[in-house]
Chains A and B, each alone.
Chain A
């Protein structure tokens, strides 16, 4: 029910158009890249998907995370702008339910963005490369992995937004985190486990053991950040 309510709350906020246009913008990157310099890529020996991701994913991932930060800010801005959150807190509804409802909705919108991006990657593969059997399986694995590795940044963005009454503060923190993450070397495991840096990882080309390590870390981060939010809700009530 919380997710349903959150869907109602985002009406007229521009949340859905933002995600759709953001998804289209990210999806345009590989298409434009291939359109202007396909000769640099078509001769490479990797699978088409791997070539496309190596060439474009860093930029696409950065747009994705920025979209997540903006989405989280927007969702909590509707709560704080006219003090609606106070009304919600006086209703028989746990604040944590509202938080996780927003996390689920934001994750669902991110899935929509991933689907738009997958369509674009499929178009590029079919248009500039030869079609091969395992394309859809490889795409599914890659985007599933990206989704899982992006969830910690979804929940952390939401935690930051829930903590800041002023949307510009949470947006500023989020943007600083995203740009810090872009400076993290993708091959450095310790630095790459920063929640905002995880979405920059690519499934293909990473050995199985490292892939598993990233999956475990993502799951741990989701749980830890979720618990941190629960504690934060409790502690904040004592200081208000």
Chain B
């Protein structure tokens, strides 16, 4: 069963099409990797899911609820982290999460739980503006994870983290469907990173969905077309390059 489905979802800004008629199918209880180079339309798609920007065309449903009719109901089910950490710099990490908790109507213990989950308990009293980039990233993740939402949308969640942090967050994301029974949509521009987390992937390039399915199937398709499959980075680059050539796009 798909928890998120889009139907010809499109977003156009003046003469630039950021997302072009994509049809996504995200199965419930899985980690779905959303892959693509910078500017492919990953963040724009996630922003549309969250109601931060309005689709120009097409539609989508999240857990059977339609946008824009059920916008608030949809948001009740989603924990999100988009582009960069968003927080009140004048408040501490704990106070930031307290605001989110109040809005979501969660118990007080959920703040402590979220802080523990991302390893910020020690720094909870420090002002968020004084956090390092990695700590801000963790705070953003905590505000997405608070209350164990059934759907998580994480846009490049490991940006700015050190290797240990990246490993921790990857392991956490991988464990979420089993631990919290949730569906995770995670974006990245690194296939190697997505491979370590995702069950299914969707590859976007210049707003077009060029592949959707399981990673093994992608590898089979790629091998059949004569592209390299030993190194995932090369596979991804070859795929994007082929799509660019087909569309006549010069990067």
Contacts and interface: CB of A to CB of B under 8 A. Distances in A.
A90 B75 contact: yes
A81 B128 CA distance: 12
B218 to A, nearest CB: 30
Contacts of B84: 83
Interface string A49-88: 0000000000000000000000000000010011111111
Interface stretch (A3-11, A115-123, A169-177): A3-11
Interface string A154-183: 000000000000000000000000000000
A89 interface: yes
A12 interface: yes
Contacts of B78: 90
Contacts of A1: 102
B82 interface: yes
B89 interface: yes
Given A11-B91, A89-B52, A84 B86 contact: yes
A5 B95 CA distance: 11
B211 interface: no
A238 B99 CA distance: 27
Contacts of B143: 87
Interface residues of A, number: 26
A82 B89 contact: yes
Nearest to A4: B102
A91 interface: yes
Contact of A90 (B52, B73, B102): B52
Contacts of A90: 50-52, 75, 78, 80, 82
Contact of B88 (A84, A93, A94): A84
A90 B84 CA distance: 13
A92 B53 contact: no
A87 B100 contact: yes
Contact of B54 (A4, A82, A83, A238): A238
A209 interface: no
How big is chain B's contact interface, by range? 20 to 34
A84 B100 CA distance: 11
Interface in B98-140: 98-100, 102-104, 127-129
Nearest to B127: A12
B95 A11 contact: yes
A177 B76 CA distance: 40
Contacts of A237: 51-54
A5 B98 CA distance: 10
Interface in B61-88: 72-73, 75-76, 78, 80, 82, 84-88
B90 interface: yes
A217 B187 CA distance: 52
Nearest to A81: B89
Most buried by B among A8, A13, A81, A82: A82
Contacts of B96: 84
B51 A92 contact: no
Contacts of A83: 84-87
Contacts of A87: 86-87, 100, 143
A83 to B, nearest CB: 4
A13 B128 CA distance: 14
A206 to B, nearest CB: 42
A1 B99 CA distance: 11
B72 A9 contact: no
Contact of B87 (A13, A84, A92, A240): A84
Contacts of B88: 9, 78, 82, 84
A171 B53 CA distance: 27
Most buried by A among B73, B80, B88: B88
A232 B212 CA distance: 37
Contact of A5 (B52, B102, B127): B102
Give 3 nearest A-B pairs by CB, closest first: A87-B86, A83-B86, A92-B75
Given A82-B86, A84-B87, A92-B103, 12 more contacts: A1-B102, A8-B99, A11-B91, A12-B90, A78-B88, A82-B129, A83-B84, A85-B86, A89-B52, A91-B104, A94-B72, A237-B53
8 contacts: A5-B102, A12-B91, A81-B89, A85-B86, A92-B73, A93-B72, A93-B103, A238-B53
